A and B are shown apart, each in its own frame.
Chain A
Amino acid sequence: EIVLTQSPGTLSLSPGERATLSCRASQSVSSSYLAWYQQKPGQAPRLLIYGASSRATGIPDRFSGSGSGTDFTLTISRLEPEDFAVYYCQLGSFGQGTKLEIK
């Protein structure tokens, strides 16, 4: 079973800054199946990125995904107040999440 490890566990940044979230797989995987989700308190997760780098419908272009093999990255180019949330990567199973909090 592939294990996904996300880092950091918590990321403290200010609006306007750039956020870089990491997801590492325990073995090399097909990027076709790597997805990123955003979850806010009390809400269901929202799909941001699928296939490692394709934005889902309606997702702003400040969100981008990249990576291959075992290392994948979600980048938020310029943080907006509504971007502070928990982010999960998924490939079958989910990573443990990265909490993006306001500094």
Chain B
Amino acid sequence: QITLKESGPTLVKPTQTLTLTCTFSGFSLSTSGVGVGWIRQPPGKALEWLALIYWDDDKRYSPSLKSRLTITKDTSKNQVVLTMTNMDPVDTATYYCAHRPGAVAGNDAFDIWGQGTMVTVSS
């Protein structure tokens, strides 16, 4: 059974750096094709894809946020970390991490999601 859980601060100040951790179980991020992504959703708004890291450490970022994002993985700890710099009130959102089986498994979508963590940016 695959599970993912996001953790991190619930409140950050403008200009600060946000660090979120996705801790997962039920799969290995060293398995060929597998990826973990981050997606966010401001209150009442649409989903926004942020970043994705693959089993081979290939990384992809949203073009509009690329300069502010860094995604890393720790395979031994079953964790993926997302950092976002220069936080602004418009970054207030629920942040999700999700599992991506990958092309090898024939599924390049996010099939299992964490419950999400709400982050508020305010002074």
Which residues of A pack against B, CB within 8 Å?
1, 32-33, 35, 37, 39, 44-47, 50-51, 54, 56-57, 88, 90, 92-97
Contact = CB atoms under 8 A, between A and B. Distances in A.
Contacts of B115: 44
A97 B46 CA distance: 6
A93 B46 CA distance: 11
Interface of B: 39, 46-49, 62-64, 96, 103, 106-116
B116 to A, nearest CB: 6
Of listed B47, B110, B112, residue having the most chain A CB within 10 A: B47
B46 A94 contact: yes
Contact of A50 (B39, B49, B109): B109
Nearest to A45: B113
A56 B47 contact: no
B46 A51 contact: no
Contacts of B109: 33, 35, 47, 50-51, 56, 90
9 contacts: A37-B110, A44-B115, A47-B109, A47-B110, A51-B108, A56-B107, A90-B49, A90-B110, A94-B46
A34 to B, nearest CB: 9
